[in-house]
Amino acid sequence: MPTGVAMQDVRRQLFDAAERVLLDAGPSALTSRAVTVEAGCAKGVLHRHFADFDDFLAELVRDRTARVEGRSAELNRGAGTGDVVDRLTHALTDLFGTAAVAVVGLIVSRDTLRTRLRETTPVGIPLLTEATAVVASYLAAERTAGRLAPDADIEALAPTLIGTAHLLFADRLAGPPAPDTVRRAVAGVLSGALAAQES
């Protein structure tokens, strides 16, 4: 796109372009040039909207993290209905079936990016930390609804579910795991925590 041609919703277009680069070529290929080429715009467009490339990457991660956090209310609204294992299988597949694994790889591979993200996520790995909180909130709602045992250790279960799902989806070149593989893993993690009527 030539300089001077207006882009609508520049941030979204640049973030989506960065996500496509991440999915196609991985974190090592993500450069400001790769993003602007993918977005079809001049390199200066990115630098007019962000202080530098690390600022752009930090905002990309925060945008994707906000999407994850936005799913919490929807997941919690379903507490007490349907099958707990099925709902979590769907939620984890929805999360890790997107660019989340590639975004986590980006965070892990760039020290300067992690430093910037400490402003909003002081501990843990950004995006995974927030995803863990979403799952913990849902598990707490299910425990309140009586579908998890009263002594279910949510603080242990939530990160175990996130870590397990991340491992299952981590090899982006091999493609996503079969749905039944994810369901079996979720059922295994929750096997001792489900209340009698769910087991």
Q: What percent of the chain has pLDDT over 90?
A: 72
DSSP-assigned beta bridge partners for residue 194 = 148
Cβ proximity of 64 and 103 under 8 Å: yes
- In this model, does residue 3 exceed pLDDT 70? no
Question: What is the pLDDT confidence band of residue 176, given thresholds at 50, 70 and 90?
Answer: confident
| Confidence (pLDDT) at 122 | 87
- In this model, does residue 75 exceed pLDDT 80? yes
Walk me through the domains of the chain, giving residue ranges and CATH numbers.
1-49 (1.10.10.60), 63-190 (1.10.357.10)
The C-alpha atoms of residue 88 and residue 141 are separated, in whole angstroms, by 13
Neighbours of 192 (CB within 10 A): 12
From its phi and psi, is residue 26 left (phi > 0), alpha (psi between -120 and 50) or beta? Answer: left
- In this model, does residue 4 exceed pLDDT 70? no
| Confidence (pLDDT) at 43 | 85
| Confidence (pLDDT) at 137 | 97
Phi, psi of 53, deg, nearest 5: -70, -35
User: Is the entire prediction scored with pTM above 0.75?
Assistant: yes
Give whole-number Cα distances, 196 to 108, 155, 193, in Å.
40, 21, 9
Phi, psi of 152, deg, nearest 5: -60, 130
Give whole-number Cα distances, 8 to 58, 59, 64, 67, 88, in Å.
21, 18, 19, 21, 36
The C-alpha atoms of residue 153 and residue 157 are separated, in whole angstroms, by 6
| Confidence (pLDDT) at 175 | 80
Please give the average per-residue pLDDT across 25-40, as a whole number.
93
**Which two three-digit tokens encode residue 160?**
């175990």
| Confidence (pLDDT) at 199 | 38
State how far Cα 170 lies from the chain centre.
12
| Confidence (pLDDT) at 98 | 74
> Which residue did the predictor score with more confidence, 172 or 27?
27
